[in-house]
Structure 1
Amino acid sequence: MSILPPELILDILLRLSYKDLIRSLCVSKAWYAFIHDQRFIKAHLQRSIETNSAPLSILIWSDNPEDAPSGFFSLTFRDNETIGAAVRTEQPFKYADNYTEILGNSVHGVVCIRNCVDWEIALWNPSIQKLKKIPFPSFETPQFTAYYGFGYDSVHDDYKVVGIGDCHTESCQVHIYSLKSNSWKRIQNMPCNNFDFHSDYIVFFNGALNWLMHPVLDETPHIIRTLTLASEEYCQFSTPVDLDDVYNMYTPTLSLEVLGGCLCLCVDRFGAAHDVWVMKEYGMTESWTLLFSIEPEAVPWVHVHSFKPVVLSKNGEMVLLTYKYHNSVFFWYDLKKKSFKQVEFRGHPHVSKVAVSGVGSLYLLHPVICWKGSTSPLYL
């Protein structure tokens, strides 16, 4: 019987979906080792992104009694499609899912979650139902409020969770968890400089965690504070909007997102319009560009001030939007035609919270223990 060369086996495995690869773990010990190899996991995700072979997955959860039992749902569909399916996923913690919150955005198909009963934190890959619980950080003083962000350090090939304490003094404590070492360490305090967190939503982009901060004592403009995971250095830059004029008419709401490979700032100007800005060159404030602005009367289903962008279509011509606080409505917005078309998900819960977009991956599979000097035959 002929034996397939390793290069051909690798090519075949890279073309399989992550679900098929999970089923293939039982084929042989060699395949089990291949699929667990971190180099293969990276190559598989990269190929899925480059070929657009993996459908977009939006993770939401429902806490509506009418949708009992409440839980997480994965909404899967292809780019620019208007029909998809909602599939319930297994709950990651032992408590009901409505006690669980997602911290930040998805990174390589992995999300950071926190249980709101005992404040347990974990990394979770809902695609393959792998959960990695992590210890709680040890702040020197009790923290009534702590902010958490999750991201990937490409320099050290490590997933990291950052815990930031209250900004009630001139600086606040900051701790970083490393998945590689499975431990926390304290880094230099973050200077507050009379600024406080605008919200608890911290997004990962370009190797750094990013969050909005507002002035405490005066009408100084909001800033975006960043923490680079590799160097553990803080930075900040300004937003593109002049809130002095805005505040004279209405109270805006600002939020950070990641859209189309850019850091994105959403400005909800209640009663006026919804503006979405993108930073074309990360860290360069002069590169802020207004991507689109929607007037209240233009939206056929929801109030204009209450939606958030989820993903940019592959051709860059359409944006998937959803209701900001209860993700019960999804719709594509055509940037050129300024038109809308609603997306319907079969089995979608009536009321849900928080949309996190991403692609399925094999990350968080337990690594294979190799003997010293051994190598996978796929990479010889």
Structure 2
Amino acid sequence: MTKYLPDELAIEILVRLSTKDLARFKCVSKTWRGLINHRGFIELYQNNSPAKFVSFYDKDLYMLDVESKRPAITNPLKLDFPLDQSMIDESTCVLHCDGTLCVTLKNHTFMVWNPSSKQFKILPNPGIYPDSNILGFGYDPVHDDYKVVKFINRRDASTAHVFEFRTGSWRESLRIPNPDWYYRDRRGTLLDQYLYWIAYRSSTDRFILCFNLSTHEYRKFPLSVYNQGVTCSWLGVTSQKLCITEYETCRKEIKISVMEKTGSSWNKIISLSTSSFISVHDHIYDYQVEFVSFTKRNDLVVTFTGYKDNFEMETEERTKTKVFLYKTGDEKFEQVQFCNSLAGLRFLCEFVETPKITNRIFT
């Protein structure tokens, strides 16, 4: 790269810089710009960057760093939301891809927003429709394009509408005639060029809906890890594999399984009793698991919300929220203490900064 600095050492230095610094260093030379824009460097940068979580808190969006050097105490970082704050509330859905967020707004439109560069863009509305059941946001490597997916449900069919940033327009992709299923979560889980959702027809008939961002085709495969006591399920990604977290209310147990290959069987990797998370003096509250997600280090973030039926207490006192970081390596957990109150905190999605060029999105 330079006469005095070996390329390997330069990369080790650059990968530890902020995205703002990298944006400046791209202007140094074509060589530096080519290196920073290279997919290998981008993947290395993402692997070395700490994962944070976007949360809705105190009527705004915040960034939480639960893997900081001092995870026991952390301050939520308020994001500089580019629009009027009234455009979002607790029903807002947030999706993430390559350091860019896709945010649903109250007027049924979408905003794509990069908190680091402060760029944002309002997507055109595909039409006057009710809120979609499921949404997705991801990168299509075949066409080198980012895409937003919105399934619009009508009585006779469910139609996938795909917004292509390359063309700047929505495209009606496919129709699922008379779908008789529902979805566990609106947000699609992105892995490679696929989006995944948990769908179900009944408490005993569940499956995975998989949507290909390149071909705009979908497929279904069974969810064989069903357990009668499961009340909540979440999809996620760990070690570049699709995983599912299931919570059993009766047994107070969290079970996590991974899929080794798309459509193959699930292998259980974690079985965790949640009773060990809650201290004895807190057992007067009925705690339920509200959110489970893996971090970049494959540790587990678990959020509990506890309720107490005591109408003599103030409303805020009848509800408690606790966040724990479970260290999967040594099988230990620690409570993440926040400097502010956790009342109203809601985890939305994982966020990882990236120097990847997103001009395709914001031009």
- Cα contact 2:158–2:179 (8 A) shared by 1: no
What amino acid is aligned across from residue 115 of structure 1 in structure 2?
Answer: L
Structure 1 distance, partners of 2:203, 2:267, is: 22
**Structure 1 range deviating more: 196-205 or 343-352:** 343-352
Match of 1:319 among 288, 300, 304: 300
Structure 2 length normalisation: TM-score? Answer: 0.78
Structure 1 length normalisation: TM-score? Answer: 0.75
Structure 2 distance, partners of 1:44, 1:348, is: 39
Structure 1 distance, partners of 2:32, 2:115, is: 18
Structure 2 distance, partners of 1:143, 1:102, is: 14
What amino acid is aligned across from residue 244 of structure 2 in structure 1?
Answer: L
- Cα contact 1:279–1:289 (8 A) shared by 2: yes
Within a 5 Å distance, the mapping from 1:205-354 to structure 2 comes to 205-215=191-201, 220-243=204-227, 245-246=228-229, 252-296=231-275, 298-300=277-279, 305-312=288-295, 314=297, 316=298, 318-323=299-304, 328-335=321-328, 338-346=331-339, 350-354=343-347
Structure 1 distance, partners of 2:53, 2:95, is: 11
What amino acid is aligned across from residue 114 of structure 2 in structure 1?
Answer: N
What amino acid is aligned across from residue 304 of structure 2 in structure 1?
Answer: Y
Structure 2 distance, partners of 1:235, 1:146, is: 17
Structure 2 distance, partners of 1:33, 1:348, is: 48
Structure 2 distance, partners of 1:213, 1:168, is: 18
Query: Aligned residue for 2:315?
Result: none
Query: Aligned residue for 2:309?
Result: none
Query: Aligned residue for 2:42?
Result: 45
Q: CA deviation at 1:15?
A: 4.6
Structure 2 distance, partners of 1:277, 1:8, is: 38
Within a 5 Å distance, the mapping from 1:190-205 to structure 2 comes to 190-205=176-191
Within a 5 Å distance, the mapping from 1:160-199 to structure 2 comes to 160-166=147-153, 168-169=155-156, 171-199=157-185
**Deviation digits for residues 208-244 of structure 1 (CA, Å, limit 9, x no counterpart):** 11112221xx66511111111112111111223345x
Query: Aligned residue for 1:377?
Result: none
Q: CA deviation at 1:193?
A: 4.5
Q: CA deviation at 1:363?
A: 4.5
Structure 1 distance, partners of 2:14, 2:332, is: 41
Query: Aligned residue for 1:376?
Result: none
- Cα contact 2:95–2:103 (8 A) shared by 1: no
**Deviation digits for residues 176-205 of structure 1 (CA, Å, limit 9, x no counterpart):** 111122111111213454223334232222
Q: CA deviation at 1:297?
A: 5.6
**Deviation digits for residues 111-156 of structure 1 (CA, Å, limit 9, x no counterpart):** 210112x1220112223322122111247xx446453211111222
- Cα contact 2:323–2:337 (8 A) shared by 1: yes
Q: Secondary structure at the match of 1:47?
A: helix
**Deviation digits for residues 329-364 of structure 1 (CA, Å, limit 9, x no counterpart):** 321224466542112344575432223222212356
Unaligned runs of 5+ in 1: 64-69, 368-380
The 3 A distance-change label for structure 1 pair 120 and 138 is closer
- Cα contact 1:313–1:319 (8 A) shared by 2: no
The 3 A distance-change label for structure 1 pair 331 and 183 is same
What amino acid is aligned across from residue 169 of structure 2 in structure 1?
Answer: S
**Deviation digits for residues 235-269 of structure 1 (CA, Å, limit 9, x no counterpart):** 111223345x43xxxx7223323344332223232
Q: CA deviation at 1:313?
A: 5.6
The 3 A distance-change label for structure 1 pair 43 and 127 is farther
Structure 2 distance, partners of 1:221, 1:96, is: 39
Q: Secondary structure at the match of 2:21?
A: helix
Structure 1 distance, partners of 2:246, 2:3, is: 59
Structure 1 distance, partners of 2:79, 2:207, is: 37
The 3 A distance-change label for structure 1 pair 108 and 180 is same
Within a 5 Å distance, the mapping from 1:42-191 to structure 2 comes to 42-50=39-47, 52=48, 54-63=49-58, 70-76=59-65, 78=67, 81-83=70-72, 84-96=74-86, 98-99=88-89, 103=93, 105-116=95-106, 118-138=107-127, 142-143=129-130, 145-166=132-153, 168-169=155-156, 171-191=157-177
Q: Secondary structure at the match of 2:354?
A: coil
What amino acid is aligned across from residue 241 of structure 1 in structure 2?
Answer: V
Query: Aligned residue for 1:18?
Result: 19
**Deviation digits for residues 158-181 of structure 1 (CA, Å, limit 9, x no counterpart):** 111011011633x31111111122
Structure 2 distance, partners of 1:237, 1:327, is: 38
Q: How many aligned positions are there?
A: 341
- Cα contact 1:79–1:313 (8 A) shared by 2: no
Identity %: 18
What amino acid is aligned across from residue 81 of structure 2 in structure 1?
Answer: Q
